[in-house]
């Protein structure tokens, strides 16, 4: 038997039949399985948690975590900005938020993507000198003053994060020592310089590590601003707030992060006195709001092990199979949907229908017994689910995605 991660708090106390947004899992599944159900009330509660912990800091949603239009429509009004990373995401963001609150980061922005962002009035996060030159040239042709921030490849990294994105050679952003020259190039070229964007990592659960990174980022922004000789209107401090996915993970103490950031900002260097600060979050806002429901198609024994074979798998929920950026495969929280809170009576491996041994959503997990026709819930499916999975692999239909009414 191998441990599972913790069932998220909104579901952990449930007994009997799993309810999502007040409706039984089986009712949601009437529409057909497999499917994702998202509860926007859970996202709204996360936003309130953030607001309580961070006074006077903007909250951005990094939409790559879950760009489903109906979910974006629910989140847009709750947050101060949306961060996108392609022209496709830009279109979705523009449908729910004014352009001035949208920023577009990502290496390898094509000319047509730069043009779309400039024409819309979104803020481009410039990732290289070459991109700066293309941005200015395209803006010149369009006759529009582009809004541009500099994305910094920081000389700090987010310690203990699942995915480190700073403190090393990187395709993302511009090395800190090259940033002042880049910003001067943008300002001299007529751009409306919006400030700095620093993203140092993802999925961090240590408040101390996040707070240290934020403090280092504020110091870095001040140093760069001094070298540029101009005050940045906005500093996007990145995010990296993690959520507990696996056994032993504890939630990030965001109140502690908020207190440390308030102290950091209270003592910030004078050049940042009028600067606004933003935190951009993806998974922390949406992961716990989503449940992936799949039906047991078959159960069988092999070599003394029990296998539950579902109609859903890694083609919809790659992350739960451990094949989306994890070094060691560990189990996401799972449950038999009509036996919440019942004691486990067997150890089973929960697998998907794909012809690959990678398609395993639960490796030797302890569960109450499930029979063909029963529903299995995979929690933490609100982020990096449908759009981060190889849905064309093996030709199964896509999963439905449903946003519960608030």
Ligand X SMILES: *Cc1c(COP(=O)(O)O)cnc(C)c1O
HEC string for 75-121: HHHHCCEEEECCHHHHHHHHCCCCHHHEEECCCCCCHHHHHHHHHHC
Q: Which is catalytic among the residues 327, 355, 373, 395? A: 355
> Which C-beta is closer to ligand X: that of 34 or that of 106?
106
Binding of ligand X at residue 202 (CB under 6 A)? Answer: yes
Q: Which of 193, 199, 245, 246 binds ligand X (CB under 6 A)?
A: 199
Helix 254-266 / helix 207-228 crossing angle, nearest 10 deg: 30
> Which C-beta is closer to ligand X: that of 64 or that of 109?
64
Binding of ligand X at residue 379 (CB under 6 A)? Answer: no
**C-alpha dist (Å) from residue 277 to 118, 127, 149, 189:** 23, 20, 13, 25
Binding of ligand X at residue 174 (CB under 6 A)? Answer: no
> Which C-beta is closer to ligand X: that of 37 or that of 319?
319
Residue 8 CA from chain centroid, whole number: 16
Q: Which of 57, 62, 90, 380 binds ligand X (CB under 6 A)?
A: 62
Q: Comparing C-alpha atoms, which of 224, 139, 230 is closest to residue 187?
A: 230
Q: Which of 66, 101, 128, 203 binds ligand X (CB under 6 A)?
A: 203
Q: Which DSSP category does 262 fall into? A: H
Q: Which of 10, 131, 280, 359 binds ligand X (CB under 6 A)?
A: 280
Q: How many residues bind ligand X (CB under 6 A)?
A: 15
126 is a catalytic site residue: no
Minimum separation from the CB atom of position 308 to ligand X (A): 29
User: How far apart, in Å, do the first and last CA atoms of the chain sit?
Assistant: 38
Helix ranges (H only) for 30-82 are: 40-53, 69-75
For residues 63 and 382, the answer to whether their CB atoms sit within 8 Å is no
Which range of residues in 33-41, 281-289, 310-318, 366-374 is near ligand X by CB under 6 A?
281-289
Subset of 64-123 contacting ligand X (CB under 6 A): 64-65, 83, 105
Active site amino acids: 355
Where does this chain bind ligand X (CB under 6 A)? 62, 64-65, 83, 105, 199, 202-203, 239, 280-284, 383
């Amino acid at each position: 038997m191998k441990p599972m991660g913790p069932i998220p708090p909104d579901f952990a106390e449930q007994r009997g039949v799993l309810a999502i947004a007040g409706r039984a899992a089986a009712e949601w599944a009437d529409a057909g399985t497999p499917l994702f159900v998202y509860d926007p009330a859970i996202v709204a509660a996360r936003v309130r948690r953030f607001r309580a912990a961070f006074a006077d800091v903007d909250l951005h949603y990094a939409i790559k975590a879950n760009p489903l239009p109906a979910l974006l429509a629910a989140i847009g009004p709750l947050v101060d900005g949306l961060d996108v990373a392609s022209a496709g995401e830009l279109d979705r963001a523009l449908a729910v938020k004014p352009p001035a609150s949208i920023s577009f980061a990502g290496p390898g922005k094509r000319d047509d993507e730069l043009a779309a962002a400039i024409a819309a009035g979104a803020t481009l996060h410039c990732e290289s000198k070459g991109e700066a030159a293309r941005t200015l040239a395209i803006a010149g042709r369009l006759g529009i003053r582009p809004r541009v921030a500099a994305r910094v490849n920081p000389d700090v990294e987010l310690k203990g994060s699942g995915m480190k994105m700073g403190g090393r050679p990187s395709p993302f952003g511009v090395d800190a020592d090259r940033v002042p020259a880049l910003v001067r190039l943008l300002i001299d070229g007529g751009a409306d310089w919006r400030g700095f964007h620093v993203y140092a990592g993802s999925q961090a659960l240590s408040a101390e590590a996040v707070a240290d990174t934020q403090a280092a980022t504020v110091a870095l922004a001040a140093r760069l601003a001094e070298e540029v000789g101009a005050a940045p209107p906005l500093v996007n401090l990145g995010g990296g707030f993690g959520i507990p996915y696996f056994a032993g993970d504890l939630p990030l103490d965001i109140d502690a992060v908020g207190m440390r950031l308030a102290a950091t900002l209270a003592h910030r260097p004078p050049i940042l006195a009028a600067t606004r600060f933003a935190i951009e979050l993806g998974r922390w806002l949406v992961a716990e709001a989503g449940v992936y429901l799949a039906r047991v198609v078959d159960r069988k024994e092999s070599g003394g092990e029990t296998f539950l074979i579902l109609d859903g798998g890694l083609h919809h929920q790659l992350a739960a199979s451990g094949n989306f950026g994890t070094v060691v495969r560990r189990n996401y929280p799972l449950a038999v949907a009509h036996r919440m809170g019942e004691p486990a009576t067997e150890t089973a491996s929960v697998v998907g229908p794909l012809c690959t041994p990678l398609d395993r959503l639960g490796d030797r997990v302890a569960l109450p017994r499930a029979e063909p026709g029963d529903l299995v819930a995979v929690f933490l499916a609100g982020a990096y689910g449908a759009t981060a999975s190889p849905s064309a692999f093996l030709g199964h239909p896509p999963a439905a995605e449903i946003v519960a009414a608030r």
